[in-house]
Amino acid sequence: MAPDELRATAEAWLADDPDPATRAELRDLIDGLPGTAEELRDRFAGPLTFGTAGLRGRLRAGPNGMNLAVVTRAAAGLIAWLAEQGGEGPLVIGYDARHGSREFAERTARVATGAGREALVMPSTLPTPVLAYAVRALDAVAGVMVTASHNPPQDNGYKVYLGKQLGGPGGDGAQIVPPADAGIEAAIRAVGPIAGVELGGPGTVLGEEILRGYVRSAAAVMTPGGPRDLVVAYTPMHGVGGGTLDAAFAEAGFAAPAAVAEQATPDPEFPTVAFPNPEEPGAMDRLLALAGATGADLAIANDPDADRCALAIPAGDGWRPLRGDELGVLLADHLIRRGVPGTYATTIVSSQLLGRLCAARGVPYAETLTGFKWIVRAAEHLAFGYEEALGYCVAPALVRDKDGITAALTAAELAAGLKAEGRTLADRLDELAAEFGVHATDQLSVRVDDLAEIGAAMGRARQTPPASLLGEPVTAIDDLLPENDVLTFRTASTRVVIRPSGTEPKLKAYLEVVEPAEGDVPAARTRAAAALQTLRKEVAAALGV
């Protein structure tokens, strides 16, 4: 964009921006030209794209950022699209404790009421699963959750859920999927000047009963009267899950978890972690220290909006975080043994163990593309779904999305039951490994500054795929282009799935090695761990990263 065109474009956006703070931010950049040209070009390189994950981006002025102007347009487009589809009923709106979340939620409510649609606003900062629950419980036409989940503190986002009328039975209370995302995106682009978007009243702020309803329903997921003797250490990771998890544990009959004091209350700066994501190295250090100090049986972490759940278990003199695949299979195995009927589902990048478990137990299994929007639509009668990125749906009739609160409760139920038998989660993992072999998984994740680097790496993998992995010939290559940018390599004992992240500037390679136990599970785990290390190097070389 030429300098004069850049200035004119920025001035036009500034004139329509309803937020004094971002207007001042943009004015400083315009006045700083030509020295600020690169920064301005980035902000006006294009609008944030509304996709199946909604909007997510940095908090900053301009169309390529999360701000009040962008949210106003998104809300107006969404509400126009709902009307075009003939959607009837209220819009329910939730928000987390990130910078700007409450303001974005309030603006969404005013845009809705200005268009003549009832807006129901959650009573406080609450987890994403509570919003997903409310869409179903209140028979809403749709729901909006203002959150960037586990992204860095400078980000925010805007997730959309549909109710039964527009989402259908499998999508009632689930995140949007195509073609809804494209329709909403087109409606957003059709919004005229923000000054022409009519704003109404603040909507109706819901009472605490919506949270109490969720807590009661979450506790009811568990088998009544089971063992509840369990010592738990917990962190909400500076997010909004703490109060809800405490209430759910109390309702279910568990003692209150010991919380990491420095991370117990919401803080949008996330001061004690580099990234507020339990998967990131070091993010759970304080939790594991607390677990050791309190003699805990189990350590649990939620991400900031509490839709994900991470577990760690005692291991020798320390603690070992479970991989998402490990917890996913433990939960599925537990629900199968409880007799929960329906289809058990996971994604193409998760471990192959769930499919083998379901085949052995004679229960329906489904495999989907990555993302919970697909998992929850795997079958109308879904029993359970999980993805390796710490997302678990243990109660689809309650929350048709990943839910870190009910996952934590179900994990606690399993751990307490095993403890009453003198056993542990580690024991159950070993039993499964003895039966099905060690399915060891890992992930190679490459964060980039330039998204073109991801395309280049995927191109290299396609043009010169590896002939062998871990000394075994590659026997199958599955390429899901053009519909999906996913590439899979298989050998007799290895699988590698490569794809760009859908929510972050990352290239991800999902690694799996299967080692037969042959009567010695510890030895098989040792062999599998060594094989994964070698596989990481081989895949990194193939990608040129």
* Active site amino acids: 149
Contact 18, 72 (CB under 8 A): yes
Of 404, 380, 377, whose CA–CA distance to 303 is shortest? 404
CA dist., res. 114 & res. 110, Å (int): 6
Enclosing H/E stretch for 372? helix 372-375
Rounded Cα distance, 307 and 404, in Å: 4
Instruction: Please enumerate in sequence order all residues whose Cβ is within 8 A of that of 249, keeping only pairs 6 or more positions apart, or say none.
Output: 232, 255, 256, 257, 408, 409, 412
Q: 3-class SS at 189?
A: helix
How many angstroms separate the CA atoms of 101 and 97, rounded? 6
Which 3 state secondary structure label does DSSP give 444? strand
Contact 126, 211 (CB under 8 A): yes
Angle at 232 between CA 528 and CA 126, to 5 degrees: 100
Phi and psi torsions of 367, nearest 5°: -130, 135
**C-alpha to C-alpha distance for 141 and 164, rounded to whole angstroms:** 7
> Per-residue DSSP letters for 455-520?
HHHHHHHHHS--SEETTEE--EEEE-TTT---EEEE-SSEEEEEEE-SSSSEEEEEEEEEE--TT-
Q: Is residue 330 within 8 Å of 428, Cβ to Cβ?
A: yes
> CB within 8 A of 20, min separation 6: which ones?
none
**89 to 72, 110, 140: CA distances (angstroms):** 20, 16, 5
- State the Cα–Cα distance between residues 489 and 476, nearest whole angstrom: 6
Q: Is residue 314 reached through a cis peptide bond, with omega within 30 degrees of 0 on the bond before it?
A: no
